[in-house]
Amino acid sequence: MSLQRIDDAALLAARTRGHGRRAEQAVAAFSRTGEHGGCWLALGLAGAALSRGQHRRREWLRGARIVAGAYALNYLVKLAVRRHRPELPGLPPLTATVSRLSFPSAHATTSFAAARAFAGLAPKGVLYGLATAFALSRPYLGVHYPTDVVAGAALGTLVAQAWPDGTTPRPGR
């Protein structure tokens, strides 16, 4: 079985299993909070504003920059790949999207970047649980293939892992 067939089958299962009007509304509302990494940017800015120590404040802001950077890189990859969003006959998407481009999932990218970036500042299990929920919401809503989500999670993790930690002095300092 080809990867595309597996992707299609997994998408169909996500789009048809565990659905009911209330569940769909709840997942769609939750997923909207992840648009453009908004909830993660808000978390980083709130964390910085509420932090008492300068180091901790810098770490929260660093996390917000990582989320923003991951989002920007995600968009560049979308423009390069140009994969269209899934279309399932008789199963329209359950939420609106900003573009027709699907690969990789920006929700997964920003969420996993945030989970990695904020892991030392907030409970790691909660962060990764939320990141996973955001990622899984996208195939459930019919707006991403599962491989879009896996690629987004990997991209976000890699961006956060590769981001400079800010403790290494720059040349000339």
- Confidence at residue 151, expressed as pLDDT on a 0 to 100 scale: 98
- Confidence at residue 34, expressed as pLDDT on a 0 to 100 scale: 95
- Confidence at residue 164, expressed as pLDDT on a 0 to 100 scale: 87
Report the phi/psi class of residue 90: left, alpha or beta, with left for phi > 0 and alpha for psi in -120 to 50: left
- Confidence at residue 169, expressed as pLDDT on a 0 to 100 scale: 54
- Confidence at residue 1, expressed as pLDDT on a 0 to 100 scale: 74
DSSP state of 33: T
- Confidence at residue 171, expressed as pLDDT on a 0 to 100 scale: 59
Domains by residue range for the chain, with CATH: 20-162 (1.20.144.10)
Helices and strands: H and E segment counts in the chain = 7, 0
The amino acid sitting at 68 is A
Instruction: Answer yes or no: pTM beyond 0.85.
Output: yes
Q: Coil, strand or helix: which one is 88?
A: strand
- Confidence at residue 30, expressed as pLDDT on a 0 to 100 scale: 97
Segments of the chain with pLDDT less than 70 = 166-173
- Confidence at residue 61, expressed as pLDDT on a 0 to 100 scale: 97
Residue 106 in tokens:
């920006």
- Confidence at residue 84, expressed as pLDDT on a 0 to 100 scale: 95
